[in-house]
Chains A and B, each alone.
Chain A
């Protein structure tokens, strides 16, 4: 039953993915501008003939439908083509950028759930307490600060004024050739500001989600029954309420999968973090079609996959979900 459900859902996502790639492809290719003029400056050495040659080389002289079909065929074999910029394979570009993004978002995600879940539960249990009020107020504040503003403020205060953390970058020049411990520490040190920027908005969302979900569970009849039976509040919360309150969090986890890999290009650009977000942004700015498509497809696949995973997990833990 479960398998059939999973398969059915997976099948449904195929046309969705096709639609996404088609739209991205069209948007990208119909946008004015082209990779041959995207070098960022006028170069008197490039003649119009060599631009025509370049177009032919990139296959841009073929009709759009042919280009899309060719691309799709290659994709089926997990070949996303070569970047226009340096003729290296798209996959190698992605594999080079992925670790930095995984690190940044992985640590941020740990922080988000490690901080958000307990806070949400706590604030629900002590609903109305000063701590809960403080939490609600601060969540308002947190929602109000866009990531790029927060990033700049953090850079301003902790980077420029206090000088505690590096303003941007992935590692310091001096760490080259040092022991791995020093190098790891150096990366961690660079990680602090971007991680806080990434985690800041999200942990409040998670905490609020958890708070609402806990409150909802606590108002259910079976919890009241448990209280009526005279079980201890601690035992009730831990054994009865929490497992049920955590259910919706699974969805949230599934939804964070694409973000984990996709990377935020605003944050990565501000902090000069060599990850997926920056890769995609720079590729888009250079009209590097194969690279942009590769990044978009990966993002889309992960989004769909994350949703799928969340649905399936949900179906596993909550039998009420119809197969």
Chain B
């Protein structure tokens, strides 16, 4: 009975929509063109004209933040959708088929878990070259293991339930079994995991851009804004403060929403 649980879902959803709204309405919300350089106005502190200051090329940070929301949240969402697709498919396959298919997929999962994620991500990014599409691809390729394990476990526990056995004796094909009977019932925890995955993906994009391996300039993302601010930490705090706060608050909102979802699908756990 701790934390404002029943409200978590509502508030989480509200703020999440708010963030999404900012991202979608970026062209209208942004005070200025985010790429417009004004070299005479470089590194100006926050003022009524530039209320988050300007960066090293004299661009308006507030405008870049608004457009950055679009990139960061967009990349996060796309990546997590791809992750989920791969994870659910492989997890369902492993759980429903069993045998060598299961063994193969699960060994792959083990290996993926043991190779440091960042190493894989770095190697893949170097392989593919940086850029928005590749960042999405790389996050998806390295992030599917958690969901695959989750779905497999759910399906294993469902497989022996009566309704599945009934469907199987009725001669349902394996794919029909997976799609019609197993998956829909296994998805509850997946929703929760997807939410947390979204947070992870946004963080990963920010991290990659932070290392200079993410989106390409002049496209702003919160992570890339943070990186370029790092060099001016001592002289221009606003370049790190605002993107940092944006990343943290979006994480917070997503966690809130995820916690709400968890409680919704699994009320017993929430009573703890």
Contact = CB atoms under 8 A, between A and B. Distances in A.
B127 A32 contact: yes
B252 A280 contact: no
Contacts of A161: 237
Given A137-B3, A152-B226, A23 B248 contact: no
Interface in B191-228: 199, 203, 206-207, 210-211, 226
Nearest to A281: B122
Contacts of A30: 127
Interface in B239-272: 240-241, 244, 247-249, 251-252, 255-256, 259, 272
B170 interface: no
A33 interface: yes
Given A215-B272, A304-B114, A32 B247 contact: no
Contact of B251 (A31, A145, A167, A299): A145
B107 A144 contact: no
A152 B126 contact: no
Contacts, number: 112
A213 to B, nearest CB: 10
A136 interface: yes
Contacts of A24: 115, 119
B1 A128 contact: yes
B247 A149 contact: yes
B43 to A, nearest CB: 15
B226 A149 contact: yes
Contact of A155 (B116, B127, B233): B233
Contact of A296 (B116, B127, B229, B241): B116
Interface string B82-121: 0000000000000000000000000100110111101110
The interface size bin for chain A is 35 or more
A155 B230 CA distance: 10
B115 A23 contact: yes
B256 to A, nearest CB: 7
Contacts of B118: 265-266
The interface size bin for chain B is 35 or more
Interface in A1-38: 16, 19-20, 23-24, 27-28, 30-33
B47 interface: no
Of B126, B207, B256, chain A has the most CB atoms within 10 Å of the CB of: B126
A140 B252 CA distance: 7
B1 A303 contact: no
B120 A27 contact: yes
B124 interface: yes
Contacts of A137: 3
Given A146-B207, A148-B210, A215-B272, A128 B123 contact: no
B234 interface: yes
Given A19-B111, A20-B115, A140-B255, A156 B210 contact: no
Given A132-B2, A148-B210, A303 B114 contact: yes
A133 interface: yes
Nearest to B8: A140
Given A156-B233, A296-B116, A20 B111 contact: yes
A132 B272 CA distance: 12
Contacts of B126: 31-33
Given A144-B249, A152-B233, A284 B240 contact: no
Contact of B244 (A135, A152, A159): A152
Interface of A: 16, 19-20, 23-24, 27-28, 30-33, 127-128, 132-133, 135-137, 140-141, 143-146, 148-149, 152-153, 155-156, 159-161, 167, 212, 215-216, 262, 265-266, 270, 280-281, 284, 296, 299-300, 303-304
29 contacts: A16-B110, A16-B114, A20-B114, A23-B111, A24-B115, A27-B120, A27-B123, A33-B126, A128-B1, A135-B2, A140-B255, A140-B259, A141-B248, A141-B252, A144-B252, A144-B255, A146-B251, A148-B206, A149-B244, A149-B247, A152-B244, A153-B241, A156-B237, A156-B241, A160-B233, A160-B237, A212-B272, A284-B122, A300-B115
Q: What 8 pairs across the A-B complex have the smallest Cβ distances?
A: A144-B251, A144-B252, A136-B3, A27-B123, A149-B244, A160-B234, A128-B1, A19-B111
